[in-house]
Structure formats: structure tokens, C-alpha cells
Amino acid sequence: MKKYLLCFFLAGCVGDKPDIQFTDTSCTWVKPIYVNKQDKLTEKTATEILSYDDKWQRFCGSKK
């Protein structure tokens, strides 16, 4: 009897793809951070900007 119940519950998880569609538009408004010569940066801020720009390049650089 327990085997039949398990099959019944698992069958409820099978179905068509949902009608929800997701479109990633983040690369249309996210841009790399540029630093001006007059900017005074701490080492921590410079490291964080570089990390952000590296991620931008990896995820959005080819979508320009």
C-alpha cells in the first residue's frame, strides 16, 4: 500500500512547463564602473570595483 501512495505523490510533480517566461534585462541597465583620475579610492573600494567590473565582463561583456 505504501508503494502506491509514493507513486501517487510523485505523479503530481510531473507536468508541462509553466507558462511563466523570464527575460534577463539586467545587462541593459547595468554598466561597468569607471574611475576618474580625480577620484580618491581606498584599496578596499578599488578591489570591490574591480570585482564588480570582472563580474560585469563575465556576464554582460559579450551582450554589448
Q: How confident is the model over 29-43, as pLDDT tens digits?
A: 888 898 898 988 999
Can you give the pTM of this predicted structure? Answer: 0.54
For the chain, how long is the longest CA-to-CA vector? 75
Every domain of the chain and the residues it spans? 24-32+39-59
Cα first-last separation, the chain: 58
- pLDDT higher at 33 or 5: 33
* Cell triple for 25: 534585462
Contact criterion met (CB below 8 Å) for 35 and 49: yes
The DSSP secondary-structure symbol of 12 reads T
Mean pLDDT of 32-60: 91
